[in-house]
Amino acid sequence: MTSLFSPVKLKGSTLKNRIVVSPMCQYRAQDGIANHWHTVHLGNLALSGAGTVIIEATAVEAAGRITPCDLGLYNDATEAALKTALEAMRVVDRCAIFIQLGHAGRKASSHVPWAGGQLIALDKGGWETFAPSAVPFKEGDRAPTALDASGLVRIRDAFVEAARRADRLGFDGIELHAAHGYLLHEFLSPLSNRREDAYGGSLQSRMRFPLEVFEAVRAVFPADRPVGVRVSATDWMDGGWDLSQTICFAKELASRGVDFIDVSSGGLVPQQKIAIGPGYQVPFAEAVKKEAGIPTFAVGMITNAEQADAIIGEGKADFVALGRSILFDPRWPWRAAAALGATIDAPPSYWRGLPAQHSGLFRTEISTGQ
């Protein structure tokens, strides 16, 4: 058996392989509510053969949406709409389904990417944004509102309520979004956190709010289901958040019962200078795994089966998480299994589509949900 297609236990779930579909924003919701697009899109991802699918960044309050078209999980309507999409995913495959919960912080109230992604003016449909400090993402943008004590409680409680909704919906796991320049990352980085109270200044103080959010979510989500955190290992800027601080944060999370760390990078400031190349973020995941002793997800330009298999086989990470590669080729795991001589689950309805040269690729046991 190849490393990539070996099963692994994560809390109470046995994941059928090490391939994870990364959370990928679709910007197709209305008022946070999922619709037919999400049902079709997520059903397709569930058919991919990946062991785990993470639903896109889902806002814990309306003000925490990146754009007006983001998914949300903050009222009964958003919960009911996600239930429909989740039920469709369960029909087509038995992969694990996680949800990424987040708050966009100062990067909220933005246009969708294909409309430029810039901050939306208040008189054009934008809304008040919130952050650790009144420091805008980009020079010339309006400043966010610095969160006061009641604001911190409001947002922590919003994460908790979203986690309770995720439990009711039956999600197999939660990933908290503390990366890519969104609110929890903004607290971590000294470039965006200029506070002078207990939530700013030293590394321990900057970690305080993200750790409080994690503890609160972990406390209300079932103990046999995993809760992990996505981090940006570095801001790619002098004086910003970096790998050594990420490792400290990971160790603090480990002491509080985190189940995995999804290791990405960047997104905090537009001046970042990222050294991009195949697998360019894998060393970050490897360092976190080694130093903090936590299962990690590796991401970033992982595009072929041999590369992904080597990452797992060489112990650099425990999972590989794919985004753009899966959007371009939703059957990437099938092709990877064929390339590595592994077998993979596929619905019986698709078995007759298997080319003769790949005979034996599909496992042919009939199981519930197939």
Considering only CA atoms, give the Rg of the chain: 20
- Residue 97 phi, psi (nearest 5): -120, 115
Q: What is the pLDDT of residue 365?
A: 60
Annotated catalytic residue, options 27, 74, 182, 199: 182
Q: What is the pLDDT of residue 366?
A: 53
Domain 8-363 = CATH 3.40.250.10: no
Residue type, 247: I
Helix (H) or strand (E) holding 45: helix 36-46
Residues 292 and 309: their CA atoms lie apart, in Å, by 22
Q: What is the pLDDT of residue 19?
A: 98
Residues 189 and 212: their CA atoms lie apart, in Å, by 16
pLDDT in tens, the chain (370 residues): 799 999 999 998 899 999 999 999 999 999 999 999 999 999 999 999 999 999 999 999 999 999 999 999 999 999 999 999 999 999 988 899 999 999 999 999 999 999 999 999 999 999 999 999 999 999 999 999 999 999 999 999 999 999 999 999 999 999 999 999 999 999 999 999 999 999 999 999 999 999 999 999 999 999 999 999 999 999 999 999 999 999 999 999 999 999 999 999 999 999 999 989 999 999 999 999 999 999 999 999 999 999 999 999 999 999 999 999 999 999 999 999 999 999 999 999 999 998 988 988 998 765 444 4
Helix (H) or strand (E) holding 363: strand 362-363
Question: Between 243-255 and 282-292, two packed helices, what is the crossing angle to 10 degrees?
Answer: 40
Token reading at 336: 């990877």
Strands (E) across 3-51 are located at 8-10, 13-15, 19-21
Q: Is the Cβ–Cβ distance between 298 and 274 less than 8 Å? A: no
- Residue 291 phi, psi (nearest 5): -85, -30
Q: Which residues contact 209 (CB under 8 A, 6 or more apart)?
A: 132, 152, 156, 184, 187, 199
Q: Is the Cβ–Cβ distance between 3 and 320 less than 8 Å? A: no
Q: Which is nearest to 245 in space by CA: 304, 320, 185, 311?
A: 185
CA 72 to chain centre: 14
Q: How far apart are the first and last CA of the chain?
A: 23
Q: What is the pLDDT of residue 253?
A: 98
Q: What is the pLDDT of residue 92?
A: 87
Reply yes or no on whether 199 is catalytic: no
**Domain positions in the chain:** 8-363
